[in-house]
Chains A and B, each alone.
Chain A
Amino acid sequence: MPTAAAPYTTVIGLEVHVQLLTHTKLFCGCPTDFGAPPNTQVCPVCLGLPGSLPVLNRRAFELALRAGLALECRIAPFTKWDRKNYFYPDLPKGYQISQFDLPFATDGSLEVVDPRGAFPPRRVGIIRVHLEEDAGKSMHDEAAGTGDSRIDLNRAGTPLVEIVSQPDLRSPQEARAWLTELRLLLVYLGVSDCNMQEGSLRVDANVNLHVPRGDGIAKTPIVEIKNMNSFRSVERALAYEAARQWEEWQETGIEIGKAPKQTRGWDDAAGVTRAQRHKEESSDYRYFPDPDLVPVTVSDADVAAARGAMGEPPTALRRALEARWGISAYDADVIVNQGRDVVAYYETVAGMVGAGKPASNWLQQDVLRTLNDRGGTIAEFPVGPEALADLVGRVARGEFDTARGREIFAGLLTLGRPATPADVGTAVAALGITAVSDDDLVELVRDLLAANPKIVADVKGGKEQAAAGLIGQARKKNPNVNPAKVRETAIALIRGS
């Protein structure tokens, strides 16, 4: 693992494949649902049967356009389809329809900011974004003992966007953070569900080291790492690979250009990258324009429509939450990272309470923690934003303290149905919570001070925290007293006496 003192810079570029959130495939009407029995979501077009012709799914193009715009790319006014020719059993036509020299989006960027400042804000360039169809899946059945391979073409023809970044990332942590931000952006846009387990988001990473020398910078050969199936494994794989390249560099001193680009696979269990078998022939995909598909022209109206459908992206939303509710950058980051539904929940609570900070605290400490433990989505959370707002409002007004609030919150979770503001009122009544008048409080504290001369002496001697010792006793006498007020009143009485 390179440290701050590492004698080299790690240079990382990423290639991200994202499955678009369409109901149907890129060039036919077959559904794209995950997990269907093999070869049940196929038609002559995605099977590549003789005579079949592709027809573009405009919806996929619109979603891709949204992604390109959100990544601040230049949108090509004219874009075409190319065939990438190669033989593989999961590629039914013998070619993949993709975009070669005229991708629909180029020259963009996406910035990642770490709210804790672990690394400086990093704006990562996007070289290109293009659309392509996915291939099918080969399943090699070793267990059956026959060595049979079976092909599932359900995935064939599924729309993907490929996002290729500039090699602007400088550490595995940055790479992970940037991917997290990219994923969040795409989910916010409704462009993809980015589910890595289902293969909706796949990452290849290119990495090498820049080693400063007297006469400039030496660069190690670029390695492409494949089969990483989580952001954590991307970070681990890059860290491993950087360290491995550093060792190799010290041993061999081989520089970029002196060795072919290597492809290595990430073995998550072993925590190592391994060289993959070199292809016998240099890959020559014989790209050429697909004569079955007409080129696509993108009008200003198309771009405007895609822009209109984008909604506020995460970066803008973070700044908006900070400004609207006066919460910290860190808090805004946590809330926004939870997704658009959580942001809406938060804003409802904050709006009804009329304050952002307590709403943020309750959301993060109580709602999100519970959600984390129990699973589920914010939409299914048993305490709706109105109920929570009622509860938080009562605490803010001093009707009872946070601890009592938590008791009520816990009670609402056990109702077995969505809790309403009325339920909060019911819970308050059930717990016998009533406001304690100032006179009653003064009387209660006076009695306690009389019974606790040591505390009185300590406070007089300057140890104000000793007053806290009265809180427990006060609550025993009247559970409705507000601890903070008990403490305040005690100190005031002692000082005043």
Chain B
Amino acid sequence: MQPCELSSTDIVAAVRRGEVSAERVATAFLDRIARVDGSINAFLAVDREGALATAAAIDRRRRAGEPLGPLAGLPVAVKDVLCTRDLPTTCASKMLAGFRPPYDAEVVARLRRADAVILGKTNMDEFAMGGSNENSAFGAVHNPWDLDRAPGGSSGGSAAAIAADMAPAALGSDTGGSIRQPAGLCGITGLKPTYGRVSRRGLIAFASSLDQVGPMCRSAADCALVMETIAGHDPGDSTALSAPVPAYSQLLEQPLTGLRIGRVADHFGAGLEPEVARGVEEAFAVFKAAGATIHDVELPHARYGVPTYYLVAPCEAASNLARYDGAHYGHRSTVTAGGFDSPLVEMYCRSRAEGFGSEVKRRIMLGTYALSAGYYDAYYARALRVRRLIRQDYLDAFEKVDVIGGPVSATAAFRLGEKTGDPLAMYLVDLYTVATNLAGMAGISFPCGFTRGGLPIGFQLQGPALSEALLLRVADRFQHLTDWHQRRTAALPA
């Protein structure tokens, strides 16, 4: 048995039955990381010692007949935007280099309580700002399907770790598409839950009203398994929903007969790569053959999604990132005097100038400007009004259909460096995903084909609030009818 080739569901079952030890599973993935991550750069920190100790403890408890958690022995990679107790947590920023939180994020605590094994922290765009994972202060991540290409962002490290078999499951965060887009570009499955379905406590905030943690795995069934553990109310997050958590993994096996899937004509306009369009259309055909019906729906304000997002998110980010000022923790400039300002202001300016990368600075400036006196109504307040219209579009659409299908990104994985000189072009990689976050809805992305060049094509399903069970089921049924999600890259050593 090669643990690195097993699904999350199979690993948990095998460990539970004693067919393989948690320690052997952890060792296999840790060794795989040691072997291949040099060419991927998916991990910012690997906790070999901690992972093996946890795995050994799980094995001891299993041998002693003690009860095990639902994820017993499952190795999980955690995006570095989530706080991990005593483990480096940097958000891929120099600003937080060396920061070790004294607490676990709620989702990480839930993983540990479920007896998952935390492998380490995955690379990302700095403070989750970016769509290609090239904004990391610790170097870009390479797409396992083609090492010259980007894995997508900002959860590119988590996506690449799974695509390269360095982890069977990972956590990502999705503010405007940061789980679904890299999942699409790396050929894996990623779920962006409804806003508030998963606690944000310990998730280092980028844009608080949009951020949501979600699972990234090889399949929808695996995502369902992880989601059962991480979802649910948290009294420590006032925006967390209190609705009970369904047993997602028990609700997958229902046929798609009668499922109404919406199709938005705007998703197939200019800019969509023909190969991607073909893959997405073939997926619609698969659903149709399985008994679903396809309906045209409109999301008329979705076209304002990107501009709205690039007001709301930077405004919140500018405020959320104000705490990184060099005063209390993180990076502080050693040069704090000599400029035109007071030593205190000089310390702030230099610490932030040295600590943040250019994309983060760009968004802080955007947000600061948009919230400034005299501009609030023209920008932020107007963006909030558009946001409500976008949400209403979804509510109207979900009166007619159960889910909305379409592409997750306009292109397959693009070359590293291809868009880095053009921020506006980069902002369009979230074209199909941002509206879900603005509306607080749920979305899932999974592979639906490959380009002739061998790059994965992603399919996105969006559903109404708290439709995770439905989205996981629809994706799982698709994965029973296709094998795209089982394809492995040949670009890496076995």
Binding site for B on A (CB under 8 A): 44, 47-56, 83, 85, 87, 89, 92-95, 151, 282, 284, 286-288, 290-294
Nearest CB of B to A318, in Å? 42
A-B contact count (CB 8 A): 101
Nearest CB of B to A402, in Å? 63
Residues of A within 8 A of B91 (CB): 50
Q: Mark B104-145, 1 if CB is under 8 A from A, else 0.
A: 010000000000000000000000000000000000000000
Q: Is the CB of A53 within 8 A of B319?
A: no
> Quick check: is B270 within 8 A (CB to CB) of the other chain?
no
Neighbour of A50 across the interface among B99, B344, B373, CB < 8 A: B99
Q: Is the CB of A51 within 8 A of B102?
A: no
Q: A51-B203, A51-B204 are in contact. Are A85 and B322 (CB under 8 A)?
A: yes
> Quick check: is B372 within 8 A (CB to CB) of the other chain?
yes
Q: Is the CB of A291 within 8 A of B209?
A: yes
Residues of A within 8 A of B368 (CB): 286
Q: Is the CB of B371 within 8 A of A49?
A: no
**Quick check: which of B12-20, B159-167, B236-244, B299-307 contacts chain A, the rest being far away?**
B236-244
| Beta-carbon contacts under 8 Å, B375-423 to A | 376, 380
Nearest CB of A to B80, in Å? 11
| Beta-carbon contacts under 8 Å, B58-87 to A | 82-83
Residues of A within 8 A of B204 (CB): 50-51
Q: Is the CB of A44 within 8 A of B102?
A: yes
Cα(A40)–Cα(B307), bound, Å:
45
Cα(A89)–Cα(B323), bound, Å:
10
**Quick check: which of B246-254, B260-268, B325-333, B471-479 contacts chain A, the rest being far away?**
B325-333
Q: Is the CB of A44 within 8 A of B103?
A: yes
The 8 closest A-B pairs by CB, nearest first: A94-B322, A291-B209, A291-B208, A286-B371, A51-B202, A51-B83, A50-B204, A89-B327
Nearest CB of A to B73, in Å? 27
Nearest CB of B to A82, in Å? 11
Residues of B within 8 A of A56 (CB): 238
Q: How many residues of B contact A (CB 8 A)?
A: 44
Q: Is the CB of B373 within 8 A of A288?
A: no
Cα(A200)–Cα(B329), bound, Å:
29
Q: Is the CB of A51 within 8 A of B319?
A: no
In the complex, which residue of chain A has the Cβ closest to the Cβ of B348? A87
In the complex, which residue of chain B has the Cβ closest to the Cβ of A90? B327
Seed contacts A50-B83, A284-B372, A291-B316; 9 additional CB < 8 Å A-B pairs:
A44-B103, A48-B323, A49-B101, A51-B89, A51-B205, A87-B322, A92-B327, A93-B323, A288-B380
Q: Is the CB of A284 within 8 A of B373?
A: yes
Q: A49-B101, A95-B319, A292-B239 are in contact. Are A87 and B371 (CB under 8 A)?
A: no
Cα(A288)–Cα(B376), bound, Å:
9
Nearest CB of B to A478, in Å? 77
15 A-B contacts (beta carbon < 8 Å): A50-B204, A51-B103, A53-B236, A53-B238, A55-B236, A89-B325, A89-B327, A92-B323, A94-B321, A94-B322, A95-B319, A284-B372, A288-B376, A288-B380, A292-B205
> Quick check: is B339 within 8 A (CB to CB) of the other chain?
no
> Quick check: is B220 within 8 A (CB to CB) of the other chain?
no
Nearest CB of B to A140, in Å? 11
> Quick check: is B192 within 8 A (CB to CB) of the other chain?
no
**B204, B319, B348: residue with the most chain A Cβ atoms closer than 10 Å:** B319
In the complex, which residue of chain B has the Cβ closest to the Cβ of A89? B327
In the complex, which residue of chain B has the Cβ closest to the Cβ of A55? B238
Residues of A within 8 A of B236 (CB): 53, 55
> Quick check: is B258 within 8 A (CB to CB) of the other chain?
no
Cα(A50)–Cα(B368), bound, Å:
20
Q: Is the CB of B372 within 8 A of A51?
A: no
Residues of A within 8 A of B345 (CB): 87
Q: Is the CB of B237 within 8 A of A55?
A: yes
Q: Is the CB of A151 within 8 A of B200?
A: no
Residues of A within 8 A of B82 (CB): 51
> Quick check: is B227 within 8 A (CB to CB) of the other chain?
no
